[in-house]
Chain A
Amino acid sequence: MPPRSLLDVDDLSNEELVAVLDRAVAFGDALPSRDLLAGVPVLNLFFEASTRTATSFTLAEQRVGADVISFAPGTSSLGKGETIADTALTLRGIGVRVIVVRHPESGFARRLADAFDGHVINAGDGTHAHPTQALLDLMTLRQEFGRFDGLHVAIVGDILHSRVARSNIVGMRALGIDVTLIGPPTLLPRDFAQAGVRIERDLDAILPRLDAVMMLRIQRERIEAGLLPSLDDYTQRFQLNRARLRALRDDAVILHPGPYNRGVELTDEVLDDPRSRYVAQVHNGVFVRMAVLDLLVNGVPVAA
C-alpha cells in the first residue's frame, strides 16, 4: 500500500523510494502520456513564496495531465478565522484530490493531511521537511554513483533552520548513506547526532573524504538573531571556494538546494566547477514530482 500523503521521505518504504526514483528516471528518458492523472484536480497551496519548487510542481502536474489550480493565500489567512479542518473540508467539497502545500510553520502539512480526505504532498513546512527536494537529491546521487550504500555525504551550513537537511538526513540514513553534518554550534546543535549521522566543525578535514557535499544557504537574518557574528567569520570556516575545491576529490559532486548566495556559502568558481550538479538537481525535480504524484494517486506499484 503506497502512502496516502508524502509529508516526509519516511512515508515511503525503501522499496517505494527506489520505485519513485526508477519511475522518475523513466519519465526523464521518455515523457509519459498525459493521462496518468487526467482530470485529477491538484491544488498548489503555497503560503510561502517559491519560484523553483512551485514552477517544478506545476510543470510536473501538467505533464501527467492533472487539472492544476494554483493559489498563494499569503501566510495569514489560515489560522485567523477558518480552522485547518474547515479548510480541508471545503477544499475536498470543491473536488480537490491532491494538495501540494508549502507553509512557513513546521507541521502544517501534517495538520492538513490529518484533516483532508485526499492526498497531501509537502512542498516544505517550516524548518521541518521538504521530501521532494530530498528525493531529487537522492536521484542525482544515484545517477552519479549508481548506488547509495556506503556513500559519504556532508551537509554544510545552517542545518538547524533547514528542512532540506532534515529530509535528506531521513532519506540518506534509510538508504545507508553515511552523513556528516558540518556547521557552527549555533546552527548545528549536538542534538542532531544519531546513528549514522556525525557532527563535525572542520570542513577542511572532511572534504577530501567525501563523495558529495551539499552546501546550504546562509541567510543574513542569522546575524541579526545573534547566531552568527558575521558572514566573513562564517565563510572563513565553511565557505566552499577555490581553495577548498582543490581538496574535493575529482569524482565527488557538489549539491545545492538553491537559491544560493554567491560569495557566501559558495563562490562563483563552485557553480562553474564541473563537479557542481545544481542544474541536474532542478532538472530531476520535475520527474521526481511526476513520480510522486503518480505513486500517491495511482498507487503505481512498481517492480524495481
Chain B
Amino acid sequence: MKTLVKGGRLVDPVQGIDALRDVLIENGFVTRIGEHLDPDDARIVDAAHAIVAPGFVDMHVHLREPGQTHKETIATGTAAAVAGGFAAVACMPNTEPALDSAAIVSEVVRRADAAGLARVYPVGAITRARAGRELAPYHLLADAGCVAFSDDGSTPRDARVLRHAARYAADLPTVFISHCEDPDLKGDAVMNEGAASVRLGLDGAPGLAEDVIVARDLLIAADAEKAWHIAHVSTATSLDLIRWARSRGVQVTCEVTPHHLVFVDDRFDDYRADSKVNPPLRGSHDRDALRAGVLDGTIDALATDHAPHGLDEKAQLLSVAPVGFSGLEVAVGAYALALPGLPLARFVELLSVNPARILGVPGGTLGVGSPGDVTIFADRPWTVDARLFRSKGRNTPFDGMTLPRRAVATIVEGAVVFEHGRVLPREDVTA
C-alpha cells in the first residue's frame, strides 16, 4: 500500500525541514521525501495550501473504556482523535476497573486495534485501583503496552507510597505522570478560588492545592531519580517549581491544556458546569504565565485532557456534575487561538515531537524509516459545533467559538483515517 501526501508545506523540526515537500509512505513507513514525487498507484492525499507534520500525539485523554462507555468508547474516542488531527493518544487509567493489570491493558490495546483509527497508548496506574496504597505491577504493565504511569485525578496522599513506587519503577524508562491537586486543600471546590468564587458564593480551590503537590512530586522525582511529567499545569508557581527542579537536574517535563491557555475563571455566572474541570480554570495571571511558559520553552507538550461526559451529567448542579469536557476535536484550533505568535516548528514540537519523546513512542518525525503517521492542518477559521463531535462527549467551553486552525487530514501507519471531514476506519481503505 502506498500513500502520497502531495503539495503540502512539510514542517518537520527533527529533520529541520520547513518547505514544500511530498511525503511517500509505503507499508506503513515513510520511504521518500521530495519535491514532486509521482509514484505509480499511490493513494494521493492533497495537502495543497496546508501544513504537513509528523502525526500529533495527545498524551492525555480519557477514553472511558472499560466501565463508562456511556461517556465514550475506545472507538468513539479514537474517531474524535483522528478528526482532531491526532494520530496517537495516551489514555489515562481512571477506567472501571482501573488500568492496573496486564489483562485489562491488553484488552484496551486489542479494542484500539479493532477500532482501526488512532494509535492508543495506555497509561497504567501507579497504585492498584488508583487507591494510593499498593503498588501496581509496573514491569508487567509496561510489557502489556503501558507507556507511562499515573494515578490521574487521585494523587497518592501518602508520600511514602509514591516514593516507593518511583524507586521501584526507577529502572524502567517509563515516565510517571502527576495530576497535582491536594485533596484536602481542594476540598469541595467547583472552581478556582478568587474574586469570582467569592462573589458567586462558590467553593474555590486555591492554586496552592496544585503547587504543593507539584513541589512534593518533584522532590520525590529527584530523590528516586525517576523521570517525571507534570500533567495539565495550571499555575505560574507550578512553572517556577518546574524550572527550579530542572536547574537541580531533575528530569521533568510538563504539559498544558487548551482550556487553561484560553479561559479564566469568569465562566461560572450561570452556575452551569460546562467549564468545571480539574485543575480549575485560573485567573489571568496564571493563564498569561502558561502562555509565556509555552513560548519560553518551559512547557514541553500540549495535551487536551479530553474528558468526555454525557450532556445530562454535565447539566446537573455544579456541586455534583462531573469534571472535564471533550477536547480532541477543538485542540488544534484552540492552541492556535491561544498562541497566535507561536512558530509552526514549535507548534509541531509541542504536539508531536515532544510528546512522542516523553512517552518513548515512535513518531515525532517523518524522516525516511519513520512511522507513516501524518497530521495535515491548515489555518482555516471554523466555528465549533459540539453537536457534530465524533466524541460522545458533546460538551466544551469552546462551543460556538471561531478557531483559526483545524485538522484537515490524519494518516496512521500510511492509512488515511480522516479526510474531507470524514472518519475512515483502517479496514475500509486497505480493502
Q: Given contacts A110-B270, A111-B272, A191-B194, are A163 and B316 in contact (CB under 8 A)?
A: no
Which stretch of B53-61, B168-176, B196-204 is in the interface? B196-204
List residues of chain B with CB within 8 A of the CB of A252: none
B-contact bits for A151-167, CB 8 A (1 contact / 0 none): 00000000010010010
Q: Which residues of B contact A (CB under 8 A)?
A: 193-195, 197-202, 268, 270-272, 312, 315-320
**Does the CB pair B317–A192 fall under 8 Å?**
no
**Does the CB pair B198–A191 fall under 8 Å?**
yes
Name B198's contact: one of A114, A125, A189 (CB within 8 Å): A189
**Does the CB pair B200–A108 fall under 8 Å?**
no
Name A127's contact: one of B193, B201, B312 (CB within 8 Å): B201
List residues of chain A with CB within 8 A of the CB of B317: 79, 84, 105, 107-108, 111
> Residue on A with the closest CB to B206?
A189
State whether the Cβ of A85 lies closer than 8 Å to any Cβ in chain B.
yes
**Does the CB pair A83–B201 fall under 8 Å?**
no
List residues of chain B with CB within 8 A of the CB of A160: 198
Beyond known contacts A85-B315, A129-B201, A194-B195: 13 more, CB 8 A cutoff: A83-B312, A83-B315, A84-B315, A84-B317, A105-B318, A106-B202, A107-B318, A111-B317, A128-B200, A163-B201, A166-B199, A191-B197, A192-B198
What separation, in Å, do the CA atoms of A108 and B320 have in the docked complex? Answer: 12
**Does the CB pair A107–B202 fall under 8 Å?**
yes
State whether the Cβ of A126 lies closer than 8 Å to any Cβ in chain B.
yes
Shortest beta-carbon distance from B315 to chain A in Å: 6
Total residue contacts A-B, CB cutoff 8 A: 54
5 pairs across A/B with beta carbons < 8 Å? Answer: A105-B317, A105-B318, A110-B270, A111-B270, A111-B272
List residues of chain A with CB within 8 A of the CB of B271: 106-108, 110-111
List residues of chain B with CB within 8 A of the CB of A106: 200-202, 271, 318
Within 8 A of B (CB), among A76-126: 79, 83-85, 105-108, 110-111, 114, 125-126
> Residue on B with the closest CB to A167?
B201
List residues of chain A with CB within 8 A of the CB of B272: 111
Within 8 A of B (CB), among A184-207: 189, 191-192, 194
Shortest beta-carbon distance from A124 to chain B in Å: 11
**Does the CB pair B319–A105 fall under 8 Å?**
yes
What separation, in Å, do the CA atoms of A111 and B270 have in the docked complex? Answer: 7
> Residue on A with the closest CB to B312?
A83
List residues of chain B with CB within 8 A of the CB of A84: 315, 317
What separation, in Å, do the CA atoms of A111 and B315 have in the docked complex? Answer: 10
* Residue with the greatest number of chain B CB neighbours at <10 A, chosen from A107, A110, A189: A107
Name B201's contact: one of A79, A85, A126, A189 (CB within 8 Å): A126
List residues of chain A with CB within 8 A of the CB of B197: 191
What separation, in Å, do the CA atoms of A192 and B196 have in the docked complex? Answer: 10
Q: Given contacts A106-B200, A128-B201, A191-B194, are A83 and B319 in contact (CB under 8 A)?
A: no
List residues of chain B with CB within 8 A of the CB of A129: 201
Shortest beta-carbon distance from A79 to chain B in Å: 5
Shortest beta-carbon distance from B118 to chain A in Å: 34
> Residue on B with the closest CB to A108?
B317
What separation, in Å, do the CA atoms of A106 and B204 have in the docked complex? Answer: 12
Name B316's contact: one of A79, A110, A166, A191 (CB within 8 Å): A79
Shortest beta-carbon distance from B311 to chain A in Å: 10
**Does the CB pair A107–B200 fall under 8 Å?**
yes
What separation, in Å, do the CA atoms of A106 and B272 have in the docked complex? Answer: 11
> Residue on A with the closest CB to B201?
A128
**Does the CB pair B316–A83 fall under 8 Å?**
yes
Closest 6 CB pairs of A and B: A107-B271, A128-B201, A127-B201, A106-B201, A191-B198, A191-B195
Name A114's contact: one of B270, B316, B318, B320 (CB within 8 Å): B270
Shortest beta-carbon distance from A165 to chain B in Å: 10
Shortest beta-carbon distance from B320 to chain A in Å: 6
Shortest beta-carbon distance from A172 to chain B in Å: 15
List residues of chain A with CB within 8 A of the CB of B194: 191
